[in-house]
């Protein structure tokens, strides 16, 4: 398999940190930036991140405070690193590809590939070639268009995107795919918050969260479940600090005692520099992997029992009667919850859960936040449905300070979905799109990420275009996925930086280099801006400031427009050239197709942009019954066979998804190595292993095929009993393609059964 070696294996371990951010954090961002580029570019980039006239941080999707309330430096350490990584002065040129064969590049680590710098001109690998060579844009579009036109069915083509893409380009991509004839629009959401979308769509009729930043600030109680904000959403800690200042409480639920959940030192305030910072979690539940469903079932049982004891004081009967369906059936089922199951599944004590229950009773303004620790579990969808039950019981939805908060990942992952990047867009959207552009979009659903891999593996798809992501490293079962991509007739990637999706090629492969968020985008119609939507449905503009990395780059909008025009000609009649000239004309079309975007151009020009309407907060639930739905969820838990552990594959502090920035995970005390596996000391003893032993991680799955990730250092760490943790993407090889969450089809990246085998000598 490709590129498994690490540049450094010089592991040192220090005790895990018990607080997050503070001055060292900003220093780390600056260090990374200055290692990549000049002082001037560093200053230009860092000072423009998330400012009203600047660009949206390409890091996470956490929202910015209102324009007047923003800090001069409204970014975090990791946002600073992401932008420095894009603004780097290093360049990958034609000479680089002459020097390195594709096989040679494929043997390099993900870290090394990224460190080579920005891509500068379009490149092609022709059939049978060992190297990429330069190709003109025109020829590249011709090759892509010929291939698309030669397919037996449009459904043999796949159009992947990640949430790095802006709204305008996302709208054009889905328009192009549908005008061409397919709904095959797999995206990173399929591997990310798909379980949230499934659960919330079914129960509340909306695929997104319902709270704003102000709601977080004024909540009585915020749950942070299966999420590591100190690393992945650092600005969320400022919001939680505010919750606490206003008298609210925080309960953290995690299999690891993550630093950011414990204590927070604000990096941009004097208080953050000295002193102990703010304690974040009032209560920390060190839960077993996959125990969250059982936890919320127990909390729901306690609420029903408390209502029995003091009728009319606990549940919100008026809300339940007016706004929901299914309460009786749910309650009957919930009363059968057995404490012995709950205690086994969660590993918590009954006292701990009762203590949470008392906190819940203290107020109705309750918010539950969650991320990958829930969505990437086999029973992620029922777990989230149970959270909705929990909030509905006390009417903690659709009211100030209350609601559901799936914390999104990529900066515009939510916007891409709003723009129609989804293999299963509702018919109303397709009808509106068809009306606007006078064609009939295909009605049958397309393929998601996992099904796309199956289709390539089985020869049902042979054309793959990836936009703004790294499909081959983001997806599970690396060996299977790599073989699937290599079977394609053509693979093409619209990217800013080199990654493994460029080295795992189809017969023909193309690299189409593009502008990044921080780059100035000038078209015939003048200086352009893009728009994005954050995790709380706020839509705003993003304007790049830097000189583009190379004169040969085209914007994503330009690449998609030119490819579409070349492939489709004038049928259907879509003004692709006009779109490329002036992105405002795309927004005009969006305003006529996508609900909530009326007068888009006018409204997005205001500082801070605008917030999309959220029906749930107006008491409207777009479900078939028009009400919020209580669900019955069967108790279930993760069990590993004797001698095995449940492995979660997660992010270190120094990476952006598939891209490691350094070999460190500072808050967890891991330095100079990524091939480490964190295991509870009691489990280590039971397995006959010692701290720093070298082991292979061996995946165990019902298909009997061996999946092996060789040579990991064991680190004794306070993971919850029976569970282990190691970094993604090095461990994706262990996640079976068919091991997916029920209903959402999201890979179970947080629930992989493994055994640890001592690495054979010489291994």
Ligand X SMILES: Nc1nc2c(c(=O)[nH]1)N[C@H]1C(S)=C(S)[C@@H](COP(=O)(O)OP(=O)(O)OC[C@H]3O[C@@H](n4cnc5c(=O)[nH]c(N)nc54)[C@H](O)[C@@H]3O)O[C@H]1N2
**Which residues are at the interface with ligand X (CB under 6 A)?**
59-60, 78, 162, 164, 188, 191-192, 225-228, 231-233, 253-256, 258, 287, 289-290, 292, 371-373, 376-377, 409-410, 467-471, 474, 494-497, 499, 514, 516-517, 556, 648-651, 655-659, 728, 732, 735, 749-750
Residue 432, contacted partner among ligand X, Mo ion, none, CB below 5-8 A by kind: none
Q: How far is the CB of 56 from ligand X (least distance, A)?
A: 11
* CA separation for the pair 761, 763 (Å, rounded): 5
Q: How far is the CB of 20 from ligand X (least distance, A)?
A: 12
Nearer to ligand X, 60 or 695 (CB): 60
Kindly state whether residue 449 participates in binding Mo ion, applying the rule CB under 5 A. no
Residue 253, contacted partner among Mo ion, ligand X, none, CB below 5-8 A by kind: ligand X
CB 202 within 8 A of CB 623: yes
CB 520 within 8 A of CB 547: yes
Nearer to Mo ion, 409 or 608 (CB): 409
How far lies 628's CA from each of 125, 133, 381, in Å? 52, 56, 16
Nearer to ligand X, 205 or 290 (CB): 290
Q: How far is the CB of 591 from Mo ion (least distance, A)?
A: 28
Residue 557, contacted partner among ligand X, Mo ion, none, CB below 5-8 A by kind: none
Residue 655, contacted partner among ligand X, Mo ion, none, CB below 5-8 A by kind: ligand X
Q: How far is the CB of 375 from ligand X (least distance, A)?
A: 8
Nearer to ligand X, 114 or 396 (CB): 114
Cα 737 to the chain's mean position, in Å?
18
Cα 661 to the chain's mean position, in Å?
17
Nearer to ligand X, 110 or 155 (CB): 110
Pull the structure tokens for residue 431. 């009808």
* CA separation for the pair 225, 251 (Å, rounded): 8
CB 707 within 8 A of CB 647: no
Kindly state whether residue 409 participates in binding Mo ion, applying the rule CB under 5 A. yes
Report the Cα–Cα distance between both ends of the chain, in Å, rounded: 15
Q: How far is the CB of 440 from ligand X (least distance, A)?
A: 29
Q: How far is the CB of 733 from ligand X (least distance, A)?
A: 9
Q: How far is the CB of 52 from ligand X (least distance, A)?
A: 21
How far lies 433's CA from each of 108, 235, 441, 645, in Å? 43, 36, 8, 48
* CA separation for the pair 160, 471 (Å, rounded): 8
Query: Which of 700, 717, 698 shows the shortest CA–CA distance to 708?
Result: 698
Nearer to ligand X, 145 or 650 (CB): 650
Q: The dihedral of CA 432, 437, 440, 441: what is its sign?
A: negative
Q: How far is the CB of 376 from ligand X (least distance, A)?
A: 6
Query: Which of 540, 544, 526 shows the shortest CA–CA distance to 585?
Result: 526
* Residue 285 β-bridge partners: 253
Q: How far is the CB of 228 from ligand X (least distance, A)?
A: 3
Pull the structure tokens for residue 569. 């000609």
State the pairing for strand pair 723-727/645-650. Answer: parallel
Nearer to ligand X, 324 or 414 (CB): 414
Nearer to ligand X, 407 or 629 (CB): 407
Place of tokens 């995946």: 699
In this structure, the number of other CB atoms found within 10 A of the CB of residue 745 comes to 16
Q: How far is the CB of 745 from Mo ion (least distance, A)?
A: 15
CB 371 within 8 A of CB 742: no
b/e per residue 153-171 (b: at least 16 CB within 10 A): ebbbbbbbbbbbbbbbbbb
Q: How far is the CB of 245 from ligand X (least distance, A)?
A: 23
Nearer to Mo ion, 33 or 192 (CB): 192
Residue 297, contacted partner among ligand X, Mo ion, none, CB below 5-8 A by kind: none
- Binding-site residue total for Mo ion (CB under 5 A)? 2
Ranges assigned E (strand) in 673-750: 676-679, 694-699, 707-716, 723-727
* CA separation for the pair 287, 269 (Å, rounded): 33
Residue 290, contacted partner among Mo ion, ligand X, none, CB below 5-8 A by kind: ligand X
CB 63 within 8 A of CB 539: no
Residue 504, contacted partner among Mo ion, ligand X, none, CB below 5-8 A by kind: none
Q: How far is the CB of 561 from ligand X (least distance, A)?
A: 14
* CA separation for the pair 743, 737 (Å, rounded): 15
Nearer to ligand X, 591 or 744 (CB): 744
Q: How far is the CB of 624 from ligand X (least distance, A)?
A: 29
Phi-psi category of 722—alpha, beta or left, where left has phi over 0 and alpha has psi -120 to 50? left
Kindly state whether residue 421 participates in binding Mo ion, applying the rule CB under 5 A. no
Residue selected from 185, 192, 485, 629 as contacting Mo ion according to rule CB under 5 A: 192
Q: How far is the CB of 650 from ligand X (least distance, A)?
A: 4
Local structure of residue 574 (DSSP, 8 states): -
Stretch that binds Mo ion, among 15-23, 42-50, 406-414, 687-695 (CB under 5 A): 406-414
Give the 3-state secondary structure of 14-78.
CCCCCCECCHHHHHHHHHHHHHHCCHHHHHHHHHHECCCCCECCCCECCCCCCHHHCCCCCCCHH
Stretch that binds Mo ion, among 192-200, 525-533, 582-590, 621-629 (CB under 5 A): 192-200
Closest-by-Cβ residue to Mo ion is 409
What is the DSSP code string of 502-523?
GTS--SEEEEEEB--TTB--EE
Phi-psi category of 704—alpha, beta or left, where left has phi over 0 and alpha has psi -120 to 50? left
Nearer to Mo ion, 58 or 181 (CB): 58
Stretch that binds Mo ion, among 19-27, 153-161, 189-197, 722-730 (CB under 5 A): 189-197
Residue 289, contacted partner among ligand X, Mo ion, none, CB below 5-8 A by kind: ligand X
Residue 590, contacted partner among Mo ion, ligand X, none, CB below 5-8 A by kind: none
CB 473 within 8 A of CB 501: yes
Residue 750, contacted partner among Mo ion, ligand X, none, CB below 5-8 A by kind: ligand X
Cβ neighbours for 88, distance < 8 A, ≥ 6 positions apart: 36, 37, 117, 118
Query: What residues line the site for Mo ion (CB under 5 A)?
Result: 192, 409
């Amino acid at each position: 398999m490709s590129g498994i070696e690490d540049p450094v294996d010089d592991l040192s371990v220090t005790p895990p940190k018990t607080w997050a951010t503070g001055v060292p954090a900003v220093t780390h961002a600056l260090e990374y930036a200055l290692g990549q580029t000049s002082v001037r570019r560093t200053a230009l980039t860092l000072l423009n991140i998330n400012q009203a006239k600047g660009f949206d941080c390409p890091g996470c999707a956490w929202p910015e405070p209102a324009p007047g309330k923003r800090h001069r430096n409204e970014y975090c350490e990791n946002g600073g690193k992401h932008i420095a990584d894009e603004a780097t002065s290093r360049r990958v040129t034609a000479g680089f590809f002459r020097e390195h064969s594709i096989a040679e590049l494929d043997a390099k680590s993900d870290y090394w590939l990224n460190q080579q710098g920005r891509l500068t001109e379009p490149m092609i690998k022709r059939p049978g070639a060992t190297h990429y060579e330069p190709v003109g844009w025109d020829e590249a579009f011709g090759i892509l268009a010929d291939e698309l036109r030669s397919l037996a069915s449009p459904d043999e083509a796949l159009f992947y995107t990640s949430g790095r893409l802006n709204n305008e380009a996302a709208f054009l991509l889905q328009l192009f795919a549908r005008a061409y004839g397919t709904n095959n629009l797999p995206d990173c959401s399929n591997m990310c918050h798909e379980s949230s979308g499934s659960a919330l769509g079914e129960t509340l009729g909306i695929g997104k969260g319902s709270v704003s930043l102000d709601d977080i600030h004024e909540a009585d109680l915020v749950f942070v479940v299966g999420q590591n904000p100190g690393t992945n959403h650092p600005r969320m800690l400022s919001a939680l600090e505010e919750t606490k200042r206003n008298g609210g409480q925080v309960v953290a639920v995690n299999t690891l005692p993550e630093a950011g959940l414990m204590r927070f030192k604000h990096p941009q305030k004097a208080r953050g520099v000295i002193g102990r910072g703010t304690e974040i979690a009032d209560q920390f539940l060190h839960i077993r992997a996959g125990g969250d469903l059982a936890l919320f079932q127990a909390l729901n049982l306690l609420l029903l029992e408390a209502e029995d004891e003091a009728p009319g004081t606990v549940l919100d009967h008026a809300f339940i009667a007016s706004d929901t369906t299914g309460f009786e059936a749910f309650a009957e089922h919930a009363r059968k919850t057995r404490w012995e199951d709950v205690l086994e599944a969660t590993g918590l004590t009954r006292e701990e859960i009762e203590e949470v229950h008392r906190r819940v009773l203290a107020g109705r303004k309750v918010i539950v936040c969650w991320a990958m620790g829930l969505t990437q579990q086999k029973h992620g969808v029922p777990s989230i449905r149970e959270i909705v039950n929990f909030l509905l019981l006390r009417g903690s939805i659709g009211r100030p300070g209350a609601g559901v908060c799936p914390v999104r990942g990529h900066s515009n992952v939510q916007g891409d979905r709003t723009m129609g990047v989804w293999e299963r867009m509702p018919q109303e959207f397709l009808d509106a799109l068809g009306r606007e552009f006078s064609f009939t979009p295909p009605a049958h659903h397309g393929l998601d990420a996992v099904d796309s891999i199956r289709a390539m593996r089985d020869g049902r798809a042979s054309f793959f275009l990836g936009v703004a992501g790294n499909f081959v490293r983001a997806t599970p079962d690396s060996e299977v996925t790599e073989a699937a991509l290599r079977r394609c007739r053509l693979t093409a990637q619209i990217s800013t930086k080199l990654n493994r999706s460029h080295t795992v090629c189809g017969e023909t492969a193309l690299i189409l280099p593009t502008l990044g968020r921080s780059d100035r985008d000038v078209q015939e119609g003048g200086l352009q801006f893009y728009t994005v939507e954050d995790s709380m449905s706020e839509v705003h503009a993003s304007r790049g400031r830097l000189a583009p990395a190379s004169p040969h780059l085209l914007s994503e909008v330009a690449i998609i427009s030119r490819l579409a025009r070349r492939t489709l000609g004038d049928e259907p009649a879509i003004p692709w050239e006009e779109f490329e000239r002036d992105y405002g004309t795309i927004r005009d079309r969006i305003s006529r197709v996508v609900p909530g975007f009326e007068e888009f151009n006018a409204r997005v020009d205001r500082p801070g942009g605008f917030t999309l309407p959220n029906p749930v907060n107006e008491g409207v639930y777009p479900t078939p019954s028009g009400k919020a739905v209580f669900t019955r969820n069967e108790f279930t838990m993760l069990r590993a066979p004797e001698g095995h552990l449940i492995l979660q594959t997660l992010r270190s502090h120094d990476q952006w998804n598939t891209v490691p920035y350094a070999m460190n995970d500072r808050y967890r005390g891991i330095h100079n190595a990524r091939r480490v596996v964190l295991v509870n000391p009691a489990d280590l003893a039971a397995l006959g292993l010692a701290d720093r032993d070298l082991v292979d991680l061996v995946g165990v799955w019902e298909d009997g095929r061996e999946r092996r990730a060789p040579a990991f250092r064991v680190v004794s760490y306070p993971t919850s009993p029976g569970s282990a943790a190691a970094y993604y993407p090095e461990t994706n090889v262990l996640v079976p393609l068919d091991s997916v969450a029920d209903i959402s089809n999201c890979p179970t990246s947080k629930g992989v059964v493994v055994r640890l085998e001592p690495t054979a000598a010489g291994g």
